[in-house]
Structure 1
């Protein structure tokens, strides 16, 4: 499927949702842009799209050459992609296909492309995070369909299992089996909910939130489980509230997932000499001209092996025993944080793992 379809005048006719997420625009916003050149420029090549007689001899079935194109996201970040084009001479349409992302250009001050700039390479850095994002987008599209297909028949299984369970007298072994079906059906239902959270693209309203209050509401839910595992928690009181622009519901889920992972990591550490502590703290930092609030969640668990670090945000990746985790917690968290215009990262070594959650500060 093409990322977008253009007229010879470079008016954008149609775009797909993956392309919208990549650039941070809504579908309506992109389709209102009058000219493709408002959001991108060729890095090394110029095409005369407006004259079909000059179009290269390619069609939808050919293997078309790729070109480096710089795209401008809604929040002012440039990203470089390989783009191939196919040309429909009969309908006078141009099909643009995005391929692997090449680089991200870290210049949030850019508001339009400057044709005089020649030092593009000075801004370039490896784009592993955008490779990750595209992978999540692709899997998300598939997961959404799978989740809905599973959910419909699953509701029938759960409902009939509940009827059977309630209709069988105590002591009958069939009641036990109905209970197992009901329990496992509900577990599948929770997995499906996580998949739908991961793939959900609609916008939840962003408001100014006291992030310590949001954290406390998530911490209150899981604190009893942490205490039961005999894990110490260090959570300071803040003399001055810290505010960030975010969704309370999304942030609460991210906090809950990170605290759950920290607890599970400590429980998996069999070293009796290792302290069992989860430490949480907040700090402010600047990224370029932007102010961020950082939440640091640190645990003394088993750590993350070097060979597994690149897989940490992959859907369904987990080191937990079967039945103890779906492998979607960090994937969901990654997606939710990106929706709030934030960043999530981690470091692990010397018996300590730290997750960093950065959100735009609101004064």
Structure 2
């Protein structure tokens, strides 16, 4: 390992001895966390500044160190690193073993959600090994993620939107100006198609950032559903999916923003269709079921919309990530990974809740909205 490269690398990195003593840090590491090198180098235990979030490598047994490989996907771990001001930063850390010096190099890659935590720790106590890490709740972490992506989305969406409109307009002019049969027309069509796909992603991002406010009123949920399903009906028919939606002619009222609820229904119905079509058994029953029921939470009455599909279900290990921004199980180019995140945010803004469960070969999404103000 070139120590000159180590020192001047833009990636925060440090060197550990077999005792887990923090032997050396580079300038990027020092700057990232606000400590001077002298404050960090010589810390008796790496774990005093680093908390592993989920899985944790076995660094306490030096005999296992030669098996650590930075190229091994299992050697990358999510961690929280203590900063000088007592906050923490989220990073992904990878390890590489130096057989000549018998040392471990740790390389850090910043998380998208770094620097967002308002929780502060006593950095002096933790450095000395006397402090405790406070563990935020899952709901708090989810809230931080949503706020982070909201901020990111607003900036990205506006930066993309203006030049994108120019690309789409000129692509339409080129497409319409070329005679049918000319191969250039095909290429212009591809540009137009892909530009419109980017436009849809931008719309999702703008919806996510809640730039437009719509006043909540009492609406008939079946009317909102029917107007939404009408946009997708032909797709369900083409996919030979049976739709079961009893009592559509009976109004059922709840407090919501019709436009936002329409977006939620659209996302849930699209996901249900994709899930049903992705079932590995071509002979399984393709059924979408939508119905409503009244429930009570505490002292308030709610109206629940149930959207049920007979898709393959959601693997248990992936369920906790379902509402995470940009998480998707769909093939590349088919989904943005923002649909459920947007829906979750919209329902919460309307005073409701979005949840799901998998049971007996079906997946059910629940949209709970207050029955009255």
- The answer to whether 1:146 aligns with 2:156 is yes
SS in 1 for 2:139: helix
- The answer to whether 1:230 aligns with 2:240 is yes
Highest CA radius of gyration, 1 or 2? 2
- The answer to whether 1:177 aligns with 2:199 is no
- The answer to whether 1:290 aligns with 2:290 is no
Q: Map residues 14-53 of structure 1 onto 2, 5 A cutoff.
A: none
- The answer to whether 1:277 aligns with 2:299 is no
SS in 2 for 1:322: coil
Q: Report Cα offsets for 1:49-92 as digits up to 9, x if no partner.
A: xxxxxxxxxxxx952489xxxxxxxxxxxxxx96449xxxxxxx
Q: Report Cα offsets for 1:334-360 as digits up to 9, x if no partner.
A: 111111011000011331100010000
1:345 to 332, 337, 355: 355
Q: 1:348 to 1:156 in 2, by over 3 A?
A: same
Q: Map residues 4-83 of structure 1 onto 2, 5 A cutoff.
A: 63-64=85-86, 83=119
Query: For residue 267 of structure 1, what is the aligned residue in structure 2?
Result: 277
Equivalent-residue separation in structure 2 for 1:217 and 1:309 (angstroms): 30
For normalisation by structure 1, the TM-score amounts to 0.65
How many Å apart are 1:161 and its aligned residue?
A: 1.2
For normalisation by structure 2, the TM-score amounts to 0.63
Equivalent-residue separation in structure 1 for 2:315 and 2:215 (angstroms): 37
Q: Report Cα offsets for 1:145-200 as digits up to 9, x if no partner.
A: 01111112211211111111122222222121111111111111111111111112
SS in 2 for 1:192: helix
Q: Which 5+ residue runs of structure 2 have no aligned equivalent? A: 1-82, 89-116, 122-132
- The answer to whether 1:189 aligns with 2:211 is no
Equivalent-residue separation in structure 1 for 2:254 and 2:218 (angstroms): 6
- The answer to whether 1:334 aligns with 2:356 is no
Is the contact made by 2:293 and 2:304 (CA closer than 8 Å) also made in structure 1? yes
Q: Report Cα offsets for 1:289-310 as digits up to 9, x if no partner.
A: 1111001111110110011111
Is the contact made by 2:145 and 2:325 (CA closer than 8 Å) also made in structure 1? no
SS in 2 for 1:310: helix
2:229 to 219, 229, 251: 219
Equivalent-residue separation in structure 1 for 2:305 and 2:162 (angstroms): 38
1:312 to 308, 311, 322: 322
Is the contact made by 1:101 and 1:131 (CA closer than 8 Å) also made in structure 2? no
Is the contact made by 1:141 and 1:199 (CA closer than 8 Å) also made in structure 2? yes
Query: For residue 135 of structure 1, what is the aligned residue in structure 2?
Result: 145
Is the contact made by 2:222 and 2:249 (CA closer than 8 Å) also made in structure 1? no
Is the contact made by 1:285 and 1:292 (CA closer than 8 Å) also made in structure 2? yes
Q: 1:183 to 1:346 in 2, by over 3 A?
A: same
Query: For residue 32 of structure 1, what is the aligned residue in structure 2?
Result: none
Q: Which 5+ residue runs of structure 1 have no aligned equivalent? A: 1-60, 67-80, 86-98, 103-126
Q: 1:130 to 1:201 in 2, by over 3 A?
A: farther
Equivalent-residue separation in structure 1 for 2:202 and 2:251 (angstroms): 36
Is the contact made by 1:245 and 1:362 (CA closer than 8 Å) also made in structure 2? yes
SS in 2 for 1:184: helix
Query: For residue 166 of structure 1, what is the aligned residue in structure 2?
Result: 176
Equivalent-residue separation in structure 2 for 1:166 and 1:101 (angstroms): 58
Equivalent-residue separation in structure 2 for 1:82 and 1:169 (angstroms): 59
